[in-house]
Copies of this chain bind each other. A is one copy, B any other.
Amino acid sequence: MSSESNESNTAANQFTRRELFPLAGKVAIGTAGLAAVSSASLAFGCGQGTEAEGHDGGSHMAAEVEHDWPWPYEMIDPEEAAALAYDNWYEKFCCYAVTSSILIPLQEKIGAPYTHFPVASTKWGHGGAVGWGTLCGTLTGVGIATGLIAGDEGERILNDVINWYARTELPIYVPAEPKTGIASISTSDSPLCHISVGKWMKEENVQFFSDARKERCARLSADVAIKTVELLNQWAGHSYTPVYGEQAKVHHVQMTAQNNCTECHGDAVPASPGA
**Complex formed: what's the CA distance from A113 to B213 in Å?**
37
Option from B46, B62, B124, B140 in Cβ contact (under 8 Å) with A155: B124
Segment among A17-25, A126-134, A167-175, A224-232 that sits at the interface with chain B? A126-134
Q: Count contacts on A: residues with CB < 8 A to the other chain.
A: 112
Option from B89, B124, B133, B255 in Cβ contact (under 8 Å) with A146: B124
Option from B48, B67, B92, B151 in Cβ contact (under 8 Å) with A131: B48
Q: Tell me whether A75 is interfacial, beta carbon within 8 Å.
A: no
**Complex formed: what's the CA distance from A123 to B270 in Å?**
29
Segment among A7-15, A187-195, A233-241 that sits at the interface with chain B? A187-195
Structural contact, B151 and A120, CB atoms closer than 8 A: yes
Structural contact, A53 and B192, CB atoms closer than 8 A: no
Option from B62, B107, B267 in Cβ contact (under 8 Å) with A119: B62
* The 6 nearest A-B residue pairs measured at CB: A47-B131, A44-B133, A266-B266, A131-B247, A46-B133, A47-B127
